[in-house]
Every structure is written in structure tokens, then in C-alpha cells.
Amino acid sequence: MAPETPINVVNLNATASASINSQVLDCNDPLYVHPSDTPGVTLVPQLLIGSENYSEWSRSMKLSLLVKNKIGFIDGSCKREDYENDAFRTHQWDRCNAIVQQWIMNSVAHELRKGIVYSSSAQRIWSVLKDRFDKVNASKVYHLNREVSSLSQGTSSVAVYFTRLCDLWAEFESVIPFPGCDCPKSRAFVEFLHQQKLMKFLMGLNDTYAHQRSHILMMDPVPSLDQTYSMLIQEENQRIHGASSSHSGVLGQAPLENDSSGPITANASHIRGKRFTNAHLICDHCKMKGHTRDSCYKLVGYPSHFKFNNRKKSAYENATTMLQCLHELRKCCSYGS
């Protein structure tokens, strides 16, 4: 049998290449490479600098890799051994593994890359970083507990205070997660932790919410943390809008001249809109400026929407009634004559 010529070898390689390229991966396959999955992509905005931000960094990286459908390359669920009998998929696994390795190195500080750049797999890199920086010590737990217990609303709004509290709780749970078991004891413990969060949230509120706090604690059953937050946000919005409308109302109804006498308040209210145009007019009956005898309230009567001085209100109501009666009586007398 004659040996294969170079032309035959080239033809065999071309046939194998065409066979590999003819295989199409589903987009949900972890070996599928999207056109945007380039090695230069930075998945998370923050770089890993050490144990102080490892928890937040690892959480962000896991979420990003889950979105990219590449989480299996760091948790060991997608192994190269699973595709050894398929040359095309083995090649794809090597590509995806290299891409994930580069993504991890892109999100690590430059001084930390030297120890992981020669690792053979993304899972190995992830394990090395976890062993080095995933250190849960008593000091970190103590500082988180101290920050949570000392946090209060202060000058912040309810929304800002609640958001800051939730951030601290999320960081604490990343260090010491809730039990994942669904047994009755675990459910009771998780319920107890949620109740403690509610108590802490209520304790940190300002004293201006003391009435709302007492009302929430007396409710049966006690509302959840999110329900409590919703009720307090509504209360805060009502206070803001109520104060705004009350403030504008005071400004709109305030007299122009601060005098406790009834006639001055009455005439100030009467000439409010005509203060500048009728300033030259003088009433020869009440001797007040801004109107004439024909429009003097003391003669023609006070309108129904007129606001009296509180200390003289009853007296002016009686006077108005008397003037209206006299006015009607004059009309009747004039008709009779």
C-alpha cells in the first residue's frame, strides 16, 4: 500500500475540520460561545484586592458567570472528562475554560495574578482564590454586628436608612448564610432571624415614628419587614405632602398686616387684591384705606367666605347678621314708601 501523499493528508484534515464545524451547539449549552464572550471582557466593576472584599467580589463573579452560563467551569459541574469521546466538544471545552480563566484574571488585582496565571483550569484558579481570601473570622463578624446594632435613621429618610440596613444584612449573610435545610427547626430559626431584623429596623427609627412603631407591634399577626417598610414609607410621604400643603396654606391665608383688631383684619383681607390700585381710597365710615363707603363690609355686610379674627368672630357674626337685617329692612321701607 502506497504511503499517503501530502495532498491526501491535506484532504483528510479538511474533511475533519468540516466535520467539526458542521456541529452546532445549542445556545443553552455551557460549551456555546456567544460572539460577545471575548477574553477581554470585564465581568465585574471591582477588582479582587484581598480578603476584605472577597465575599462581595465572589458573589458578583458568580452572578456574572451564571448569566454567561459558565458557572460550571468554576464549581466543577462542567468537566473536560465528560467530553473526552467527542473531539469537537473537547475543543469547545478548552476554549470556554480559557475564556473563563481570562475573565477571572481580568477581575483580580495585578499583584494577585502572578499566583494564578499558570493554573491549568478556571476551577483551579477559583479554588486557589477561595482558599486564600475566603476567611471568616470573629473580628469581621463582630464589626458587622456592631455596625448593624449602632445604625439608626438620624437625618436620613426611611428609604435610605432601610437600604443601608439591608446592605449590612446582605453582607452578613454572605459571611454566615442562613441554614439551607427545610426542616422545622431551620424554618423556625429563619423566622426568628426575620423577626430580629424587624425589631432592629423599628428600634433604629426616629422618635417621630413612635406612634407608628407601637401600632405595628400591637398588630396580630405582626407584619413582615417589607410590609412594615411599606407602611412607614406611606406615612413618611403623607407627612411630607401634608407639611407642604399646610405650609402653602399658611402663606396663602396669612394677613398682610399683623394686627389683632377685627376691623383692621377685615379691611386688610378686603383690600388684599387691590392694595396698590385702590390705596388712595378712604372709607368715610370706618376711616380705613383701600375701599369706599359703597363697599364697606361694616355697611353692606361680610361675605360668607370671610375669615374673622378668632377672638372677635362671634361679635362680627352678630354684627353681620344685624347689618343684613337692617339692609333688608331699608329695602322694605323704600318699597313701601
Global pTM exceeds 0.75: no
pLDDT level of residue 263 (50, 70, 90 thresholds) = very low
299-328: per-residue pLDDT in tens? 666 665 565 554 444 444 545 555 555 555
How does pLDDT run across 82-101, given as a tens digit for each residue?
A: 888 889 999 999 999 999 99
Listed ranges 35-44, 277-286, 311-320; the one with the highest mean pLDDT? 35-44
- List residues bridging with 108 in a β-sheet: 48
Cell numbers describing residue 50: 484581598
Domain boundaries, the chain: 8-133, 138-235, 262-336
Query: Which contacts (CB < 8 Å, 24+ apart) does range 230-235 have?
Result: 232/158, 232/205, 233/158, 233/159, 235/209
* Residues 74 and 122: beta-carbon distance below 8 Å: yes
C-alpha cell of residue 229: 417598610
* 230 closest CA partner among 210, 256, 193, 201: 201
